[in-house]
Chain A
Amino acid sequence: MGLLRTKRSVLPGFGLTLGFSVAYLCLLILIPLAGLFVKSASLTAAEFLAAVGSPRALAAYRLSFGASFAAAAANAVFGLVVAWVLVRYRFPGSGALDALVDLPFALPTAVAGITLTTLLAKNGWLGRYLEPFGIPVAYTPLGITIALIFIGLPFVVRTVQPVLQDLEPELEEAAASLGANRFETFRRVLFPTLWPALVTGFALAFARSLGEYGSVVFISGNMPMKTEIAPLLIVTQLEQYEYGAATAIAAVLLVLSFAMLLGINALQRYGTRRFAGAGEEPA
């Protein structure tokens, strides 16, 4: 295979950096994950299926993936709007707002969870106004989604922002002078350019939400079958010394996430090609 055939390059050290990267990824990611699979292999096939296929586990996967997907989708839309405002407009406090975006990164997630729960509980500052409309937020999947939106926001904003910054306003002006309305300009000019970054931001927010634990445990109420997320189920199993079952559920979660991220990458490539127009072949 000519995969590793070294070409003469002005940048030296390809072999060295490749070796380092592989070793680094192995040590940090592959070996721990392999351990996970090894441990879950200590179960018999029947035990494994019972652990990962129980109604409680299935409900947890569904909730985890559903809420993460909804949160990432919401972030993709509103994160784009926030990034847009931060890049395109200068107003008093825009710097502070920009810094605020990163707070979900810095804040201990448990603090975020407790804060959101306090706000959104039946007697909380916001929850008390939502309750009369029959919209309970705390201790429902909606509450979980809100916590995950909070956690995932910076990912979308920070991936889209630099791309928006590079987008010259002249492109929009050109589109307008050619007769395009705002929607057409967005659809045909801005969106195709933003698409790869937006999908990356979505994937990051989604992946982060899937693994999120700290903020969700407080707002979810952790009712099995109803508001129990997969990471919590894993911890519950651990606390009951069911190490095999815990790793089995984790392994399933991992495989599903990996498959979804691969799918998202494929979508990104597809979109890039699709929006790049038919004649991309270099002549």
Chain B
Amino acid sequence: MSIEARSITKSFGTFTALRAVNLEVKEGELVALLGPSGSGKTTLLRIVAGLEFADAGNVLFDGEDATERSARDRRVGFVFQHYALFRHMNVFENVAFGLRVRPRRERPSTREIRERVHELLRLVQLDGMSERLPSQLSGGQRQRVALARALAVRPRVLLLDEPFGALDSRVRKDLRRWLRQLHDELHITSVFVTHDQEEALELADRVVVMNQGRIEQVGTPEQVYHEPATRFVYEFLGDVNIFHERAEDSRHGGIYVRPHAVEITRRPIGDGAVSARVQRVHVAGPTVKVELVTEFGDLVQAEISQEQQRRLALTREDAVYVRPNESRVFSEDYSI
């Protein structure tokens, strides 16, 4: 099912969470809402789910206006950051909940419920755990139960609010990969909220970058990473150096360069090279991280390969030249 949000505005007291936001999610897509806290991403998700109601604007499912429909009539599966499992029910009952509360006419038989629940538990790889209580599960297992519970009602849309936010980084990575696989199997239209750019870029078909209640950019992970529309997107999606090539550059915003695009040489080469002094070299890890200060006082972080480091043999206080290999310039509020 496709989702469309049209000029959604929402404020809480004096705080404006969303300012006329438009969003379109196509059938079967996996979309990430990415932004810092307070950017309105969770509010937008909750409005789509019907857990929050917009002050203005419409939510459409498959082109049909669902703005006035309650959460219970929208048939969306919602997964919460802190799982929101029913503590007094075991895993089986948690997953069966959505089936059991249906009106009698639509309710599946006990046998059908049992089959469906076990099918879902197999899907989330928790089949042997159906008798456990949520308190007896790890965080990753709880979140998978929550996912199975949301899927039990065959939702038309799956909405996930920081689904991996409460998990440690290792589990998070596993679960992320697993969720992508699951989505490829089920093809259910899904939207997830995250503040982790790596998560959004790795998992989503399209990324919606939000800031201060507005959408800054919508695009594929490649687009938002390589062709950021605004300074905010550029800064939010990765480490950034702001760099001046001439002293008078300081009047402008400067040049934006990712650490891996900083070229370091012993001798000045070509145009745009700036002299700099090495402050620190971190050799541990897949790449070598070098901190430098340019002649104009900019602090620059560079990432070079281990091989380059073997050639350059950089150490503290070395005088070198740096040059941005690929860079962007943003003037005040619009991109060039």
List residues of chain A with CB under 8 Å of any chain B CB.
168, 170-171, 173-181, 184, 188-189, 192-193, 275-283
Contacts and interface: CB of A to CB of B under 8 A. Distances in A.
A192 B88 contact: yes
Contacts of B74: 177
Given A173-B51, A179-B98, A277-B93, 14 more contacts: A174-B146, A177-B49, A177-B51, A177-B150, A178-B72, A178-B152, A178-B153, A179-B101, A180-B98, A181-B101, A276-B88, A277-B90, A280-B90, A280-B133
B326 interface: no
Interface stretch (B1-9, B78-86, B206-214): B78-86
Given A193-B88, A279-B131, A283-B136, A174 B93 contact: no
B149 interface: yes
Contacts of B90: 277-280
B89 interface: yes
Contacts of B49: 177
B158 to A, nearest CB: 11
The bracket for how many chain B residues form the interface is: 35 or more
A228 B3 CA distance: 68
A180 B101 contact: yes
Interface string B83-108: 01011111011000110111000000
Nearest to A171: B84
Nearest to A168: B84
Contacts of B130: 279
Interface in B292-320: none
B97 A176 contact: no
A177 B131 contact: no
Nearest to A172: B84
A192 to B, nearest CB: 5
B87 A174 contact: no
Contacts of B72: 176-181
Given A179-B98, A277-B89, A174 B84 contact: yes
Contacts of A277: 88-90, 93, 133
B156 interface: no
A277 to B, nearest CB: 5
Contacts of A181: 72, 101
A128 B97 CA distance: 51
> Looking at B49, B72, B98, B102, which has the most chain A CB atoms within 10 Å of its CB?
B72
B280 interface: no
B78 A173 contact: yes
Most chain B beta carbons < 10 A, residue from A189, A278, A279? A279
